[in-house]
Amino acid sequence: MAFPHIPRLFLAVVVLASTAAAPSARAAADRPRPMNVLFLISDDMRCDLGAYGHALARTPNIDRLARQGVLFERAYTNYPLCCPSRTSMLTGRHPTTTRLYGNREWIGAWHPDWVTLPRHFKNHGYTTLRTGKIFHAGIDDTEAWHEGGEKRLYGDNTQPPPDPATLPPIPEAEELARIERMLAADVARAPSSDRWEAVEDPAAISALGDTQVGDRAVNYLRAHAQDTTPFFLMCGFSKPHSPLVAPKEFFDLYDVDDIILPPDFAARPTVPEGFPRGAIRPINADLFIRRDATPEAARAMIRAYLACISYVDWNVGRVLAELDRLGLRENTIVVFWSDHGYQLGEKGKWSKAGSLWEQGTRVPFIVHDPRVAGNGRASPRVVQAVDIYPTLLDLCGLPRADGIEGLSLAPLLHDPHAPWDHPAFTVWSERNRGLSGVVVRTERWRYAEFFGPGAGAMLTDPLHDPYETQNLAGDPRYAAIVAELSAVLHRYADGTTESTAR
Ligand SMILES: [Ca+2]
């Protein structure tokens, strides 16, 4: 059913209006005006938002959107890295199908017949508008947009990665030697993005990337508010991705002395006792790269991350304010989503890359469709990024594109507590040889397996152990849960995992 969520009153008005009209006019009147879509994306933002219960985060605009729409409490990325996550979401296919695991690949080179989300809307009469980071920096479905498409800089190699089943396993000794070389590398090679900065100069603030992304979104809304065709506007902010640069006013919202470090804070990446080595990469990928995090430096970095979140919130706020000012809210579906989560010092990790932990995989996800009955409520159900594509098609009454693997979340937008027995899956590939880790998330449990070097299993209890300090996978009391979730995990991942043969 395409519109299970349209209020009955609305349908009644349409029916009454149509009975008085001439047959040809009636056909047009029967058809509700297509909904616009405003899809707001944040980069590397975990659920440190007021709406998600964070004690310090100042995010009034996203919080307001959450009160207006449906907030998903358990939404997960399918891959904790920018381009693979976005490629999966924008093609409506799991990473086990895309097999795109890196930041320099363009899915269209491997699968020119796959229709991306913006292209599907373009093909069905929408004006498609892009501002900011959508697929990835240097990667774009250039032809999918009426305005804002950018030249691709990477990813025109048409060769997808080889089938992992055809590759020999990496010997453990070789893997350990690789890690040793990485750890011994020159610290000066850490990128300049490993830092924070509070910007004060007004001209510099105007020139910040996300300020410009928000300006462009506002300008698109003004230019297309009166169009007879609906718009599909994607707006991708790049914060709180490193470097943590934001206007000083957002740093001033936080006192560094209020920042409390996580209970499993460590100075450097640390595999907790009893967990598989593959669960934590030995070197951070975003912040504190090849350098220890002191408690003082860690608190300053977390404050900067929160400042960047408040800066994104401010940008989101002015785009939504323009939507309201133009009277577009009632016929626009607004989505807010982040491409993956992040670890801020938990287990010594400062990144998302390789994180199959709750902090790395859980994302903020809010949908406001003015027509649905669930608005103003939160959904505790487990949903995943691959569901976004089919959901938007369903809400907009567009046909389902071929090959789409996700599920429409329209039933949960209508009733956020409706039965929904679908786990979420997040995967990681360490060397682009197949999957080196998979986690399955149910409402009750998190269960992961790691393959190849550092292999092992972990079961954690997010209800009683939110920082995931106890691995229950080897505890006989949980053997039945492990067996059940392992079977679910392998049904999902079979044929794509790295060989564990020695
Ligand atoms: Ca990202």
pLDDT of residue 453: 85
pLDDT of residue 17: 38
C-alpha 312 – ligand 1 centre gap (Å): 14
Task: Give the type of residue at 451.
Answer: F
Q: Which element (helix H / strand E) includes 314?
A: helix 295-325
260 CA to centre of own chain = 25
C-alpha 339 – ligand 1 centre gap (Å): 5
Range of weakest confidence among 273-277, 431-435, 452-456: 431-435
Question: How far is the CA of 345 from the CAs of 102, 192, 244, 256, 289, in angstroms?
Answer: 24, 19, 15, 15, 12
Q: How many helices (H) and strands (E) does the chain have?
A: 16, 16
Q: Are 273 and 469 in contact (CB under 8 A)?
A: no
C-alpha 240 – ligand 1 centre gap (Å): 9
C-alpha 323 – ligand 1 centre gap (Å): 26
C-alpha 351 – ligand 1 centre gap (Å): 10
How far, in Å, CA of 452 to CA of 80, rounded? Answer: 19
How far, in Å, CA of 229 to CA of 238, rounded? Answer: 29
Count of residues for the chain?
Answer: 502
SS3 for 397-418 is CCCCCCCCCCCCCHHHHHCCCC
Q: Which residues of 235-260 are buried (b: 16+ CB within 10 A; e: fewer)?
A: bbbbbbbbbbbbbeebbebbeeeebe
C-alpha 83 – ligand 1 centre gap (Å): 7
- Model confidence at 20, pLDDT cuts 50, 70, 90, reads very low
The predicted model gives 38-43 an average pLDDT of: 98
Residue ranges, comma separated, of all CATH 3.40.720.10 domains in the chain are 42-159+195-493
Range of weakest confidence among 18-22, 142-146, 193-197: 18-22
C-alpha 27 – ligand 1 centre gap (Å): 44
C-alpha 242 – ligand 1 centre gap (Å): 10
Task: State both tokens at 69.
Answer: 């729409």
Cis-peptide, bond into residue 243, ω within 30° of zero: yes
pLDDT of residue 104: 92
C-alpha 172 – ligand 1 centre gap (Å): 30
Q: Are 160 and 432 in contact (CB under 8 A)?
A: no
Q: Are 63 and 370 in contact (CB under 8 A)?
A: no
C-alpha 6 – ligand 1 centre gap (Å): 34
How far, in Å, CA of 195 to CA of 406, rounded? Answer: 37
How far, in Å, CA of 27 to CA of 21, rounded? Answer: 9
Beta pairing class for 350-351 and 343-344: antiparallel
Range of weakest confidence among 92-101, 171-180, 394-403, 456-465: 171-180
C-alpha 2 – ligand 1 centre gap (Å): 32
Percent of the chain whose pLDDT exceeds 70: 92
pLDDT of residue 173: 87
The predicted model gives 421-426 an average pLDDT of: 96
Q: Are 353 and 289 in contact (CB under 8 A)?
A: no
C-alpha 44 – ligand 1 centre gap (Å): 4
C-alpha 241 – ligand 1 centre gap (Å): 7
CA-based end-to-end distance of the chain = 50
> Which candidate, 309, 245, 358, places its Cα nearest to that of 56?
309
C-alpha 346 – ligand 1 centre gap (Å): 18
Whether residue 25 has pLDDT greater than 60: no
Determine the CATH number of domain 42-159+195-493: 3.40.720.10
C-alpha 359 – ligand 1 centre gap (Å): 13
C-alpha 371 – ligand 1 centre gap (Å): 31
The predicted model gives 140-161 an average pLDDT of: 92
pLDDT digits (tens, 9 = 90+) for 73-86: 999 999 999 999 99
Whether residue 334 has pLDDT greater than 70: yes
C-alpha 338 – ligand 1 centre gap (Å): 7
Q: Are 306 and 258 in contact (CB under 8 A)?
A: no
The predicted model gives 180-193 an average pLDDT of: 76
Of the segments 22-36, 359-373, 421-435, which one has the largest average pLDDT value?
A: 359-373
> Which candidate, 434, 102, 432, 450, places its Cα nearest to that of 271?
450
Whether residue 7 has pLDDT greater than 50: no
> Which residues have C-beta under 5 Å from ligand 1, the single-atom ion?
43-44, 82, 339
C-alpha 103 – ligand 1 centre gap (Å): 10
How far, in Å, CA of 412 to CA of 330, rounded? Answer: 20
Q: Are 387 and 406 in contact (CB under 8 A)?
A: yes
C-alpha 413 – ligand 1 centre gap (Å): 26
